[in-house]
Amino acid sequence: MQTQPGEIFFVVNPNAGNSLHPRTLTAICHAACEQSGRSAQVVATRSPEEATDTARQAHESGAAAIFGCGGDGTLSAILQGLPLGSPTALGAVPLGTANVWAYETGLPLTPMAAISAQLAALDGLQGAPLWIDTGKVWSTGADGSLSSQRFLLMASWGLDAAAVSGIVGSERRSRIKRMLGEPAYFFSAVQEAIGRKAWPVAVSIDGAPYFEAEIALLTVGNTRMLGTWLEVNPQATVVDGELDLLMVEGAPWRALALSPLARHSWLPNGPGVTNLRFRRIEVAYLREPLPNQIDGDPGPPSAYAIDIEPGALRVLCPNPTAPVLGG
């Protein structure tokens, strides 16, 4: 593929929940770039690995920005291919099921408007590029080797992760997701909560001694929202050099019972509910491995720690006053 410095890359996920016809989307990408005096490379990818490889190529070729045309999973796949501190900025064309990043940062939801606004930010005409934090999940392999995966939005253990895995592992639930969109995750969570006991874990925060807890849910947020309707970390920003923890203790049904409060940012910090900020968390499993999710996709069952990567990623922000951006 012939590339040139300053070019704009677009990674198209043809399986995204609200994806346009590829020919239409390609025409929109080229038209938006032409209006801003830039050239575009549009790459249709068949897997997250291909999206990651394209992001790596964009970085190495000196691309000004790379847009994920899909959902939050597409952005996560691109993130894996951008080295820490890469000058290639990340943009989003929201075509997925939830589009949490676009929702939290106030991006337009139509492709042409979203691309144009972010290219204006790239040129300093509306907002600006912004350096933000990312998270990193550590896990172990069967041979004891270490591996890591970065995240833009949120990682979790417990009920939320079980709901995500339930959709991925069930054709019936996958069909419901295609029909209902984001509400399918709530129905999956209800099914996963039925008859399930709490998960016993030991947790260490920022190097402090481990403490034991039986949890329903443990979320680690770089951003605020679990989906676009549960604000589980209402004080989180992506520019504070910290991650935000929500831990709900007890049986999984308790996390479901508290969800209406999270819907309105009223989630208490009291008995059995913990909100705090940190830089590193370690989780030891006291029974079976916990389900884990990273940016809306199943994570490794051997995930054991999460770190913050301060100021690691350059993103396009036409709306810098969004609360999650520190505005």
3-state secondary structure the chain: CCCCCCCEEEEECCCCCCCCCHHHHHHHHHHHHHHCCCCEEEEECCCHHHHHHHHHHHHHCCCCEEEEEECHHHHHHHHHHCCCCCCCEEEEEECCCCCHHHHHHCCCCCHHHHHHHHHHHHCCCCCEEEEEEEEEEEEECCCCCEEEEEECCEEEEEHHHHHHHHHHCCHHHHHHHHHHCCHHHHHHHHHHHCCCCCEEEEEEECCCCCEEEEEEEEEEECCCEECCCEECCCCCCCCCCCEEEEEEECCHHHHHHHHHHHHCCCCCCECCEEEEEECEEEEEECCCCCCEEECCEECCCCEEEEEEEEEEEEEEECCCCCHHHCC
Given this model, what pLDDT does residue 248 score?
96
Whether residue 317 lies inside any domain: the answer is no
> How far is CA 144 from each of CA 138, 147, 280, 294, 302, rounded to the nearest angstrom?
12, 10, 21, 21, 10
Which pLDDT score, from 0 to 100, does residue 4 have? 60
Sign, CA torsion 192/193/196/198: positive
- Count how many residues are written for the chain: 327
Q: In terms of domains, do 225 and 100 share one?
A: no
Considering the domain architecture, whether residues 150 and 256 belong to the same structural domain is answered as yes
What CATH number is associated with residue 171? 2.60.200.40
Q: Are 302 and 194 within one domain?
A: yes
Q: Could you list the residue range(s) of the whole structural domain that residue 275 is in? A: 135-310
Residues 40 and 157 in one domain: no
**Domain closes at, from 75, 107, 126:** 126
Please indicate, yes or no, if residue 119 is contained in any of the structural domains.
yes
For the chain, list residues with pLDDT below 70. 1-5, 16-19, 176, 268
Indicate if 147 and 121 belong to the same structural domain.
no
